[in-house]
């Protein structure tokens, strides 16, 4: 009887540890992108593509009252077989439609 209780306790501990690990992985996937920049530009690290990086860059630039404009993607080699891609954005002041298109007046 005690061996059954021991096995049940071991199974319960294993399940708890696996749940803790999976919850940690979910959290890591939400925080895996790091933004580095200032009021003029921002780099979103580890994004893979522009569309995925844009919300992070927009949030960063909005803190300075600016909007994000895509600049370029930069690929970094991590090891012989692994790479990562960072997206670079410029933070610019929003312009009025007449500033962008002088021929159109609203």
Structural contact between residues 50 and 70, judged by C-beta atoms closer than 8 angstroms: yes
pTM (predicted TM-score): 0.60
- Sheet of 34-37: strand order equals 34-37, 41-45, 83-92, 67-77
**Exposed / middle / buried, residue 3 (Cβ in 10 Å: 0-12, 13-18, 19+):** exposed
Structural contact between residues 44 and 56, judged by C-beta atoms closer than 8 angstroms: yes
For the chain, give every domain's residue range. 1-31, 33-106
Q: How confident is the model at residue 95 (pLDDT cuts 50, 70, 90)?
A: confident
pLDDT digits (tens, 9 = 90+) for 48-93: 899 999 999 999 999 999 999 999 999 989 899 999 999 999 999 9
Sign of the CA dihedral running 89, 91, 95, 101: negative
């Amino acid at each position: 009887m005690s061996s059954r209780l021991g096995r049940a306790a071991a199974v319960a501990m294993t399940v708890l540890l696996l749940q803790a690990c999976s919850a940690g992985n979910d959290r890591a996937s939400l925080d895996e992108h790091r933004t580095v920049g200032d009021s003029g530009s921002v780099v979103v690290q580890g994004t893979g593509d522009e569309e995925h990086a844009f919300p992070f860059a927009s949030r960063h630039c909005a803190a300075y009252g600016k909007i994000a404009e895509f600049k370029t993607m930069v690929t970094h080699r991590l090891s012989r077989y692994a790479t990562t891609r960072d997206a670079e954005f410029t933070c610019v002041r929003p312009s009025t439609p007449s500033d962008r298109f002088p021929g159109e007046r609203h």
